[in-house]
Amino acid sequence: MSGRLAAFAGSTPNIGTSLTAFGTAYRIAALTGRKVGYLCLNLKSAKTHLYLGVDKPDVTLDGVRPELRAGTLTGEKLRQYAFRSPKLGGLHVLFGNMAREQAEYYEPDDMRQLLSAAREAFDLTIADVSAYWDNAATVCAMREADDRFLVTTDSLSHFQEDIHRWTGQVGSQFGMLPEQFQLVLLHGKHGIKGGFRMKEIRKETGCAEFTELRLLESMHLQLDSGRLDEWLAAEERNAAAFDAVANPLINRLNWSQRLQKTDRPWLRRLMVHRRRDG
């Protein structure tokens, strides 16, 4: 059975898209026990290994490129290449392209081969792609995804022009309409009281509403220190910060049944509450 693919793109760079995608992947793997894969597909700015304190990864995207080109990468091989650690639980991570100067050499067939292997390897794959669409990774992942998430903030400069230019213009050339993208609205320094509201952003962009998420400064600090996995695993409330994205996706996948068998009553109550709200 083929696994599901969810792609996360940012409306503009450096707003917290990778943190949102990784935190969601970790949380879903932790809550469900499913095999979840995280693909770093930022071809020119791969930093996931640094967020996890891995200075020199054993395997990266450019390391498997020969197999992608030859069409020999399988789901089993991808699972073997993926980075795992006790702190990550059931999450498998493929670190991104380290040869930045070769980013434009990745072909659509390479990306389709990778995504096909990921569907074979994992129950759910989270693909973290670039905010810019001038590369095969972003275009192919967003085109083939079952769920297309567009991460933005409540600042006008982060959603107005860039979404129209990339999601609207480039996306439409590949058969993707704005309403097929689901907005994840990040609230930062302004909080929910400042900036534009989801309703206004939805109207401006033409995208669909998915959820709103507040990223605390403590989350960003973990990226700089290379301890994101430790922070997520340290306390339940840290990983639970991503429930606004993770839980609706779990319900959409019909994976919440597994949670009913857990010995943690608060999880059962939480999921029942989420289903009622949905």
For the stretch 166-195, pLDDT in tens is 777 778 788 888 899 999 999 865 444 557
Q: What does the pLDDT read at residue 217?
A: 77
d(CA 180, CA 198) in angstroms, rounded, equals 16
Q: What is the pLDDT of residues 117-126, one digit of tens each?
A: 999 999 999 9
For the chain, what is the domain count? 1
* Backbone φ/ψ region at 11: left (φ over 0), alpha (ψ -120 to 50), beta: alpha
Structure tokens at 99: 């040869």
| Structural domain includes residue 99 | yes
Q: Is residue 263 part of a domain?
A: no
Entry field: residues in the chain: 278
The whole-number pLDDT of residue 276 equals 53
Residue 53 is assigned to a structural domain of this protein: yes
253 inside domain:
no
- The span from the CA of 186 to the CA of 69, in Å, is 37
Q: Which domain holds residue 204?
A: 4-243
Q: Is residue 264 part of a domain?
A: no
Beta strands in the chain (DSSP E): 4-10, 36-41, 91-94, 124-129, 147-153, 182-187, 208-214
Contact 249, 24 (CB under 8 A): yes
Question: Tell me: the pLDDT tens digits for 71-110?
Answer: 999 999 999 999 999 999 999 999 999 998 989 999 999 9
Phi-psi region of 89 (alpha: psi -120 to 50; beta: other; left: phi over 0): left
SS (H, E, C) 159-227: HHHHHHHHHHHHHHHCCCCHHHCEEEEEECCCCCCCCCCHHHHHHHHCCEEEEEEECCHHHHHHHHHCC
Query: Per the domain annotation, does 256 fall within a domain?
Result: no
CATH number at residue 84: 3.40.50.300
Per-residue pLDDT tens digits for 205-231: 999 999 999 887 778 788 888 999 999
Residue 263 has pLDDT above 60, yes or no: no
Q: What is the pLDDT of residue 270?
A: 57
- Tokens in use for 187? 């609230």
- pTM of whole model > 0.75? yes
At residue 212's C-alpha, the angle toward residues 209 and 213, to 5°, is 150
Domain presence at residue 206: yes
Cα separation, 148 vs 143, whole angstroms: 8
Q: What is the pLDDT of residue 24?
A: 98
Flag whether 152 is in a domain. yes
